[in-house]
Chain A
Amino acid sequence: MPAVTETREAVEKLGQSSYKWGFETEIDMDLAPKGLNEDTIRLISARKEEPEWLLEWRLSAFKAWQQMTEPTWAKVKYPPIDYQDAHYYAAPKKKPGPKSLEEVDPELLRTYEKLGIPLHEQAMLAGVELPEGETARPPVAVDAVFDSVSVVTTFRKTLEEAGVIFCPISEAVKDHPDLVRKYLGTVVPAGDNFFAALNSAAFTDGSFVFVPKGVRCPMELSTYFRINARNTGQFERTLIVVEDGASVSYLEGCTAPMRDENQLHAAVVELVAMEDASIKYSTVQNWYPGDENGRGGIYNFVTKRGACRGARSKISWTQVETGSAITWKYPSCILQGEGSVGEFYSVAVTNNHQQADTGTKMIHIGRNTRSTIIAKTISAGQSDSTYRGLVRVLPKAYGARNFTQCDSLLIGDRCGAHTVPYIENRNMGARIEHEATTSKISEDQLFYCRQRGLSEEDAVGLIVNGFCRDVLKELPMEFAVEAQKLLQISLEGSVG
């Protein structure tokens, strides 16, 4: 996770507005031929040594996908995607043998070092190599996914002792097939939508987390995704199951090299929370956003959904979205269990030619379910940013409660900020409140900061951070610092 070991200084070294994670790593890759068809799917499945049922599941998803058309309702524009012009499987070539860190291609390790991701447990645990003036942070278990495959997962021993399973989903399929089979596709069905179906057919890796009854996961879990190879799509699939009374906090981060062409990222995340369970899912999405002329960048078309199955369960989504050329993402909560709680905290920043259409869905099914939505949208440059959210209260959700607040900030007069909430209520005992505002940075605030000697850019950064505070304070501490810096970098060059 860049957030974890990224230091302030490292970020500050950044000269002008540039994407510091834009390097490419030269590694021998194992690539599937371009295009998606049954053979590719069979190949992926074979490479992953998957059981028959999973292959069948993939193939049925592929069939469903072929019948589907790409959704067009989002407020984003992009040229048609040729789904046959990408590699659906790309993995760093690896010698057979035990999977220890020593076996990993040193080039790959250097990549993660550059990104600041702690793959060396010992160093982390010892806490001795920290630069002066920096306090030791609590350990974080990391699963690093490079293009299509998970390269390493740290701290597995410690987690195993606590009974927590944290591993690449491809391993989980082999080691815990019953668990995966029981939950996979139950929150986001294979044919849920165009991109979810594509993912179900072609997913290559991702993380699997299982926290058994009554266990409080002893450390933060984190997955780090990186797209590296050319012409590849990344289709990771994450499944998190938390049993009765258990809890987990999970972080996700992502980067990609700078390229002129667009790359597709279509992930699916499924969360299952049983009785009294709680899941906190935080994302700092920093895929390559394209250059200042809108060339290149990642298409981030993601389906994220959590099911609060048990009574009093809780799912909380926090996202800081600064990257991607196009974002299409609606982390949702299905509030089924009585008294379950859904939360969505989001900061979405777009600059230059970025487009974001993001928001959430809160589906209230059970009695006394509650949801909170706080969405902060910041548009700069020539970008367009849309909040699109649904609050649906079904007839049995007596006493359901929703509060939604969407605030948009416009920086410059060539960008757009849009708010499209959908409110559907079929229960008279429900209470729903929604409010939204759009404004620009107030001259007064700016004047106040400038008067005290801050540069205009710093002043904007400060004001934006204040604007986003309600969301940033929901992030785990290490993430919050990173996110604040990221906001500032994303908005560089947007004023003055």
Chain B
Amino acid sequence: MNAIIKDPSASLVPFKARLDAVTDPARRAALGALHRVGLPDRRVEAWKYTGLRFLNETAFATAPQEIDRVKARAELERLGLTLGEAASLPRLVFVNGRYAADLSVEPENVDLTFFSKMQAFGSLSSPDRDALTALNAALATDGVQLTVPAGIDAGRLLLVSLGQAADPISFHPRHSVTLENGANLSLLCVQSGEGRYLHNPVMELSVADNARLQHLTIQTEGDDAACLATLYAQIEEHGSYDSFVLGLGAALSRHEVHARLNAAHAQVHVNGAQRLQGRQLGDVTSVITHAAPDCNSRQTVRNVLDGQSRGVFQGKVLVERIAQKTDGYQMNQALLLSETAEIDAKPELEIYADDVKCSHGATVGALDDEQMFYLRSRGVPEAEARQILIHAFLAEALGLIPDELAQTIATRIMELRFPVTGEA
């Protein structure tokens, strides 16, 4: 898109002092790209439905070094991560984007280091194209750099991000997860916080031959926060990346996944659900690139929108010339609960190979009158009937999370925000 942005650097004012202080050559390169295009506005096609006004209103400082450990522990407890089976999981906890070793239990069987110790940007991301990735590259301070060695099943790993903002801050974690041949991992990311902050993570995920990565992200950030996440996944032969994002929090959120099926028989699932209310804006964007034959991709995203919230879904499936026998499926569904909620959906197929089976579907509607009538006629009060139907709509999506424990955690955290009873 050749949107004309008069002064690209004007959009960078909230970060100016920090960006000016960047000296590292690798970071300067990313910064160059950022200065050229600036942060995207809505004239940029990929940001047509999601404005970044949130960022223009405040200057975002670097997060202070000291963190409130008591509060952090309480939050982990509130989220139910210290309960039952979840309590015994290895966990890596980041507060304001910095690793908090004393809150963490490091996993075994994996090679683990941190961005703060060994700065590595990886090769999957594209700061030249994605401004928020460039912003991350310029300002990243910490992050996980994890490798699961060949043939190892590393089980489950919790990766928690907590925001604690007194004054507006921003943090830009830089994670990379690599699964070597035949490795296995179930990664559970939980993001929460309070205060006004920008959480701008970039995650590179590399899945080698026959490896399997399951990835659940539960985004329940603070009501006054913005979470703009970009994920880059590359999947090799017979590898599989099975992801799900549950969007519940933040005033402004965008979960952007770039998945590349790089060798034959690779497989990717980019599923998700959003439940928004108030004036929230939640954006689920994905670009799935079929770059090899015989791959398959699946995507189901469901939105439940109440209040004046706005849900955005942009899903692109790109099938390159070489990617014959591609099987791609994409489904986006939205349930509008109020007269002021809005859904903007743009499912997109870009196909250059002829022997493919690709389809997408989208539906938008209110709660089904007949279903409501069915429940009401059996004596279920209206508010409860609504809850049952909403729950059923989302439960079907959450059922796509392959790891049962992950599914339980996701459901529990959703119910923290939306108690099943007592809500009109």
- A422 near B341 with CB under 8 A, answer no
A73 engages B1 (CB within 8 Å): yes
Determine whether the beta carbon of B365 is less than 8 Å from that of A430: yes
Interface residue? B418 (CB, 8 A): no
Within the complex, the shortest CB–CB distance from A398 to chain B, in Å, comes to 9
Distance in angstroms between the alpha carbons of A419 and B337 in the assembled complex: 29
Residue of B339, B350, B358 near A427 (CB, 8 A) is B339
Do B349 and A436 touch (CB < 8 A)? yes
Q: Which of A148-156, A212-220, A408-416 contacts B (4 or more CB under 8 A)?
A: A408-416
Number of interface residues of B (CB under 8 A): 38
CA distance A408 to B355 in the complex (A): 12
Binds B, one of A17-25, A299-307, A437-445: A437-445
Asked whether A425 is an interface residue with its Cβ less than 8 Å from the other chain, the reply is yes
Assuming the contacts A395-B339, A413-B354, A436-B347, asked whether A429 and B361 have C-beta atoms less than 8 A apart, the reply is: no
A110 on the B face (CB < 8 A): no
The yes or no answer to B2 lying at the interface (CB within 8 A) is yes
CB neighbours (8 Å) of B321 from chain A are 413-414
Contact partner of B336 (CB less than 8 A), chosen from A422, A428, A438, is A428
Q: Does A296 interact with chain B (Cβ within 8 Å)?
A: no
C-alpha gap A434/B359 in the complex (Å): 10
B36 at the interface (CB under 8 A from A): no
**Interface size of A in residues (CB-CB distance below 8 Å):** 36
| A439 and B356 form a contact (CB under 8 A) | yes
- Asked if A102 lies at the interface with its beta carbon under 8 angstroms from chain B, I say no
Tell me which residues across on chain A come within 8 A of B2, comparing CB atoms.
72
Tell whether B166 is near chain A: CB-to-CB under 8 Å.
no
What sequence of 0s and 1s flags, for each residue 68-91 of chain A, a beta carbon within 8 Å of any chain B beta carbon? 010011000000000000000000
B331-370 interface code vs A (CB 8 A; 1 in, 0 out): 0001011111111111111111111111111111110000
* Min distance, Cβ A380 to any Cβ of chain B, angstroms: 9
Contact of B365 among A69, A432, A435, A439 (CB under 8 A): A432
* Residues of chain A within 8 A of B364, CB atoms compared: 423, 425, 430-432
- For the complex formed, measure the closest distance between the CB of A360 and the CB atoms of chain B, giving whole angstroms: 15
How far apart sit A408 and B344, CA to CA, in the bound complex (Å)? 23
Q: Does B111 contact A (CB under 8 A)?
A: no
| CB < 8 Å neighbour of A436 from B356, B357, B361 | B361
User: Closest CB-CB distance, B108 to chain A, in whole Å?
Assistant: 46
Chain B residues lying within 8 Å of A408, measured Cβ to Cβ, are 349, 351
Residue of A nearest to B365 (CB): A431
Flag if B1 contacts A416 (CB, 8 Å).
Answer: no
Smallest CB-CB separation from B368: which chain A residue? Answer: A431
B355–A432 CB distance below 8 A: no
Contact A439 B357, beta carbon cutoff 8 Å: yes
Residue of B nearest to A413 (CB): B354
Q: Write the nearest CB–CB distance from A214 to chain B, whole angstroms.
A: 38
Indicate whether A440 sits within 8 Å of B356 (C-beta atoms), given known contacts A423-B364, A428-B366, A431-B365.
yes
27 A-B pairs within 8 Å (CB atoms) are namely: A408-B351, A413-B355, A414-B321, A416-B352, A417-B349, A418-B348, A421-B346, A423-B345, A425-B334, A425-B344, A426-B341, A426-B342, A429-B366, A431-B366, A432-B362, A432-B364, A432-B365, A433-B363, A434-B347, A434-B363, A435-B362, A436-B360, A437-B357, A438-B356, A439-B356, A439-B358, A440-B356
The 6 closest A-B CB pairs, nearest first, are: A428-B336, A410-B354, A434-B362, A432-B364, A423-B345, A419-B349
Q: Which B residues form the contact surface with A (CB < 8 A)? A: 1-2, 4, 45, 321, 324, 334, 336-366
Known pairs A414-B321, A423-B344; list 17 more (Cβ under 8 Å).
A73-B1, A408-B349, A410-B354, A417-B351, A420-B348, A422-B345, A423-B346, A429-B366, A430-B364, A431-B364, A431-B365, A431-B366, A432-B362, A432-B364, A433-B363, A434-B360, A438-B357
